[in-house]
Amino acid sequence: MTLLHLFDLDGTLMYGSAAPVEISRQLGLAEEIAVLERAFAAQEIGPHAFSLAAQELWTGLTPAHVRAAFDGSPWLRGIREVWQEIRERGDYCAVISLSPSFFVELLLEWGAHAAHGSVFPEVPFTRPVDMAGILTPTGKVKIADRLCAQFGLGRGDCVAYGDSSTDVALFEAVPRSVAVNARPYLVERATHVYEGRDLREAYQLAGA
- What's the pLDDT tens digit per position in 181-193? 999 999 999 999 9
pLDDT (tens digit per residue) in 99-150:
999 999 999 999 999 999 999 999 999 999 999 999 999 999 999 999 999 9
What integer pLDDT is reported at residue 87 of this predicted model?
97
Comparing 1 with 190, the larger pLDDT belongs to: 190
What integer pLDDT is reported at residue 206 of this predicted model?
85
| Farthest-apart Cα atoms in the chain, separation | 47
* Separation of alpha carbons 99 and 36, rounded Å: 13
Q: Average the pLDDT over 142-164 and give the result.
A: 98
- Decide if pLDDT at 44 tops 90: yes
Q: Are residues 58 and 86 in the same domain?
A: no
Q: Are residues 125 and 91 in the same domain?
A: yes
Tell me which residue range forms the domain holding 117.
4-16+74-205
Q: How far is CA 131 from CA 98, 116, 124, 128, 188, in A?
A: 12, 15, 18, 9, 32
Helices in 27-167 by DSSP H: which ranges? 30-41, 47-57, 63-71, 79-88, 101-104, 137-151
- Decide if pLDDT at 10 tops 80: yes
Of 53, 70, 87, the one marking the end of a domain is 70
The answer to whether 136 touches 173, Cβ cutoff 8 Å, is: no
Q: Is 43 left (phi over 0), alpha (psi -120 to 50) or beta?
A: left
Q: Are residues 55 and 87 in the same domain?
A: no
96 forms beta bridges with 116
* Separation of alpha carbons 25 and 23, rounded Å: 5
Q: pTM of this prediction? A: 0.97
- Decide if pLDDT at 179 tops 70: yes
CA 175 to chain centre: 19
- Decide if pLDDT at 178 tops 90: yes
Q: Are residues 174 and 199 in the same domain?
A: yes
The answer to whether 91 touches 3, Cβ cutoff 8 Å, is: yes
- Per DSSP, 198 falls in state B
CATH number at residue 121: 3.40.50.1000
* Separation of alpha carbons 206 and 18, rounded Å: 23
What integer pLDDT is reported at residue 208 of this predicted model?
58
pLDDT (tens digit per residue) in 46-72:
999 999 999 999 999 999 999 999 999
Q: Average the pLDDT over 156-175 and give the result.
A: 97
Of 28, 49, 70, the one marking the end of a domain is 70
Q: Are residues 27 and 58 in the same domain?
A: yes
- Decide if pLDDT at 207 tops 90: no
* Separation of alpha carbons 49 and 40, rounded Å: 9
